[in-house]
Amino acid sequence: MMNIEEKTFNQDFQFQVPLAPKQTRLQAFWFLFKQNRLAIVGLFIFILFFCSALIGLFLTSGPEPIFDPAMIRLQEKLRPPLAKPNLDSLRPEEVPTLDFYLMGTDDLGRDVFARMLQGAWVSLTVGFVAVGIAVLIGIFMGGIAGYFGQYHIKIDHILLTFILVSGAGLVAVKLIHFGALLLLLGLGHILYSILTKKRSREKAVSSWSAFLSKNAVSVDTLIMRIVDIMLCFPSFFLILTVVALLPASIYNIMIVIGLTSWMGTTRFVRAEFLSLREQDFVAAVKALGVSNFRIIFRHMMPNAVAPVLVSATIGIATAILTEAGLSFLGFGVPPPHATWGNILSDGKRFIFDAPWLTFIPGIAILIVVLSFNLFGEGLRDTLNPRLRERH
Amino acid sequence: MESVRRQNHIILGVQSLKKYFSIRRGFFQRVAGWVKAVDGVSFEIEQGKTLGLVGESGCGKTTVARLILKLLEPDEGKIIFQGSDISEFTEKDMKPHRKEIQIVFQDPFGSLNPRMTIGLSIEEGLRILGIKSGRSRKERLEKLLKMVGMSPDSADRYPHEFSGGQRQRICIARALSVDPSLVICDEPISALDVSIQAQIINLLKDLQDRLGLSYLFISHDLNVVGYLCNTIYVMYKGQIMESAPAEELFENPCHPYTMSLLSAILDPEPGKRQKMKLLEPDLSDSLITSAGCNFQGRCPIEEPRCRKEEISFEKVGEKHIVRCWKVAEK
């Protein structure tokens, strides 16, 4: 082995080259981002919303919350914003914490401000968790399609998957004997193919096994067609159907929204990976002998997240809107819990008598969604390499 | 330890290497034709020597490099590296051999990860070598950076903070981080300024003397290749047209393509400047080759026979071969 340490080097060979002043990527990013006023406004509202939702969670939860969103005061119903409570008719524990109703009360005399605070947390978590799920699935699927896309799935793989899935399905519908048989068959085949892996490199003998090991479809085609199929469904109605079948809970809604909105991320990640895979720096680390896993996650992913980040930011806005829509239709979070959607839905009956019941949550949804969109577009403009002067 | 290696020891032998790419057309992606990117290329690189591969854009030089690195799978032929045929190796078999062959790319802007500091980029190689402790990696990293003439405190900077020449030095450092024995230089200087080109060439030469590296130097600049290489192979449309030791090729070019390439070099002395034998531009469907010599249609001394028969190599000198039958007649 040749060893670099064993060599001695002439010091005169080195020469120092002046380097550009040090500027981290974050500094450069912030310099460009802050020139976009609307994006800064969006970021500011986003932070405000985040803080109020977080504080709102603490203020409205627990056995004795500071703002009680569930406190019913029938004698104080439909009070306008900033109205003083009628202290004579209220028991001491019913008196609102602020001594006035900041956003009025609804038809049951509940404090709308407290309900909005509680709803903010729902919107925030639905937005982030749903998009988190979508982004994770999207990155995984897109990464596989982009990096391993040229590999082919063979016919026996498809048959095997079919056998295993149908076996599991039969077990699930209580046809245990037949299902277990199929499962055993599938697992047996996997074991068999692992044991005979070394020998299978030689040419296949019979025409039947040759047919089984024929390339059926490339991984890329498979994943992208699944994406196309998923995009064909009108997702809101898909969500409505699924939510109608599942017990109403905020977690189900998050998961369902997440499972129906990963396709965009998949396409972005795949497109980025297709172009990154051909780049010299990826070829260079491949030549170094770096593992595929490390190439994908250490070298390619950081270069592919920019469009994902943008689409995720805008996706949060869409998820918040979807949740509000579901709650408005009564398919969302079950009633005692307040969300912006069901405050809006409850208030629509009193739109002429108590317009604040519809306008306050409506404007809140508008502002939050708008701020996410503005922030997302600002991100996109800043991360777009064509708008950068250098690199 | 390196003294064990004998002179004239052949480190890489390539035998009738072939890589065809299919052209697919239409809705059903049927194969409409084949691009013979590399069509039967053979050469040998001796330990500690430099082999130059010259040819115009698109003649398959880079494909040869990618085949040797196993970034592409060859369709036919053997790649014998240090005694074992790596062309048959699977990705798993290849892993321990990967670090022995490294590459420096043409585009210094695209060959470094923009999201990683250059220190981290180079340390990827040190990780492969199995240097686990952070401190010894840092020491080694400093050594590598010094070796390519960069200051060690540039390690925590990002690629966009460097100039093209500096980035190319970093790329060389990364290639050397795994102690390779063969470095493929894929037009490492064609994206650089002339003054920087000289620095990089001298650096490469210097490193070869110190570390006993072998180079496969790919370029379209015959001047540089003539200065740096021991043997020169001239490539055209996926085939070797002529190969000879460097001085021999410059003194006695035999293939018409080599002659026209040589005449395109500008001599600084006005009196010495010879008339350029400019080639007609290749307007034919250059992707798909027909029967006969690949140089047909552009060759100034073409005859009907060139379009009919396959042309094989004629021996001109001891190590000088030409793919042109007219040379033998002379």
Residues of A with CB under 8 A from a CB of B: 1-7, 9, 13-17, 19-20, 22-25, 279-281, 283-290, 299, 302-303, 390-391
Q: Tell me if B219 sits within 8 A of B225, measured CB to CB.
A: yes
CB B104 within 8 A of CB B190: no
Mean per-residue pLDDT, A109-134: 90
pLDDT of the residue at B319: 85
Judged by CB atoms closer than 8 Å, whether chains meet at A390 and B160 is answered as: yes
Percent of chain A with pLDDT over 70: 87
3-state secondary structure of B183: strand
**Are the CB atoms for A148 and A270 separated by under 8 Å?**
no
What are the tens digits of pLDDT across the range A127-149?
999 999 999 999 999 999 999 88
What integer is the mean pLDDT of A267-271? 92
Q: What is the mean pLDDT of residues A310-315?
A: 88
- Chain B residues whose CB is inside 8 A of the A14 CB are 146, 149
Q: Would the pLDDT of A391 be above 70?
A: no
Query: pLDDT tens per residue, chain B (330 residues)?
Result: 344 444 468 889 998 898 888 888 777 777 777 888 888 889 989 888 899 999 888 888 889 999 999 888 888 888 988 888 888 888 888 888 888 899 999 888 888 988 888 899 999 889 888 888 888 889 999 999 998 988 888 888 888 888 888 999 999 999 999 989 999 999 888 888 888 888 899 999 999 999 989 999 998 888 888 888 999 999 888 888 888 898 888 888 888 888 888 887 776 676 665 666 667 666 555 555 567 788 877 787 778 888 877 778 888 888 888 888 877 666
Fold of A26-60+116-152+218-388: MetI-like fold (1.10.3720)
> Using the 8-state DSSP alphabet, how is residue A16 labeled?
-
pLDDT value for A167: 82
Ranges of H-type helices in A260-348: 263-277, 280-288, 292-294, 301-328, 340-347
Shortest alpha-carbon distance between residue A262 and chain B (Å): 25
Residues of chain B in contact with residue A7, where contact means CB-CB under 8 angstroms, are: 210-211
Question: Of A372, A259, A252, A381, which Cα lies nearest the Cα of A312?
Answer: A372
Contact A233, A272 (CB under 8 A): no
Nearest-Cα residue of chain A relative to residue B148: A14
The stretch A304-310 carries a mean pLDDT of 86
Chain A residues within 8 A of B102 when measuring between CB atoms: 287-288
> What ipTM did this prediction achieve?
0.84
B158 vs A387: CA distance, rounded Å: 19
In this complex, do B101 and A287 lie within 8 Å of one another by their Cβ atoms?
A: yes
Distance in angstroms (rounded) separating the CA atoms of residues A185 and A183: 5
Which site among A281, A291, A309, A389 would you substitute to test the B interface, given the most B Cβ atoms closer than 10 Å to its Cβ? A281
B89 burial (CB, 10 Å; 0-12 / 13-18 / 19+) is middle
CB contact under 8 A, B171 and A284: yes
**In chain A, what residues touch B176 (CB-CB under 8 Å)?**
4
* Predicted local distance difference test score (pLDDT) of residue A11: 40
Verify whether the Cβ–Cβ distance A7 to B211 is below 8 Å: yes
Asked whether the predicted pLDDT for residue A209 surpasses 90, the reply is no
Q: For residue A3, what is the nearest residue in chain B, using CA coordinates?
A: B179
**pLDDT top residue among A227 and A78:** A227
Chain A residues lying within 8 Å of B166, measured CB to CB: 17
How much is the CA Rg of chain B, to the nearest whole Å? 21
Query: Are A289 and A302 contacting, i.e. CB atoms less than 8 angstroms apart?
Result: no
The predicted-structure confidence for A335-349, as pLDDT tens digits, reads as follows 778 888 888 888 888
- CA torsion, ordered A24, A30, A31, A35, to nearest 10 deg: 170
A344, A333 Cβ separation under 8 angstroms: no
pLDDT at position A38 over 90: no
The CA distance from B46 to B32, in Å, is: 40
Q: What pLDDT does B290 receive?
A: 66
Quick check: A287 and B177 CB within 8 A? no
Q: What is the distance between the alpha carbons of residues A364 and A325, in angstroms, rounded to a whole number?
A: 14
Task: Give domain limits for chain A.
Answer: 26-60+116-152+218-388, 71-109
Find which of B66, B113, B129, B139 to mutate to test the A interface (most A CBs within 10 Å of its CB): B113
Q: Output the pLDDT for position A20.
A: 58
- Distance from CA of residue B284 to its chain's centroid? 26
Rounded Cα–Cα distance for residues B188 and B172 (Å): 9
Whose CA is closest to A108, among A77, A133, A130?
A: A77
Nearest CB neighbour to B124, from listed A15, A16, A290: A290
**Predicted local confidence at residue B233, as pLDDT:** 92
Task: For residue A31, count other CB atoms closer than 10 A to its CB.
Answer: 11
Count of beta carbons in the 10 Å neighbourhood of residue A33: 18
With CB atoms and an 8 Å threshold, state whether A4 touches B144: yes
- Arithmetic mean of pLDDT, A268-276: 92
| CATH number, domain B10-100+180-329 | 3.40.50.300
CB contact under 8 A, A9 and B146: yes
Q: Which two tokens stand for residue A177?
A: 């004997």
- The answer to whether the CB atoms of B115 and A303 lie below 8 A apart is yes
Beta bridge partners of B78: B15
B174:A284 CB<8 A: yes
Q: Answer whether A17 sits within 8 Å of B151, measured CB to CB.
A: yes
CB contact under 8 A, A17 and B163: yes
Provide, rounded to the nearest whole percent, the portion of chain A with pLDDT above 90.
Answer: 18
Picking from A1, A3, A288, the nearest residue to B128 by CB comes out as A288
Confidence of residue A8 (pLDDT cuts 50, 70, 90): very low
- The DSSP bridge partners found for residue B24 are B31
Q: What is the pLDDT of residue B260?
A: 84
Torsion angle in degrees (nearest 10) through CA of A92, A98, A100, A105: -80
How far apart are the CA of A12 and the nearest CA of chain B, in angstroms? 10
Optimal mutation site among B93, B103, B118, B124, interface A, most CBs of chain A within 10 A: B124
Q: So what's the pLDDT on residue A227?
A: 94
Confidence at residue A6, expressed as pLDDT on a 0 to 100 scale: 42
B131: left (phi over 0), alpha (psi -120 to 50) or beta: beta
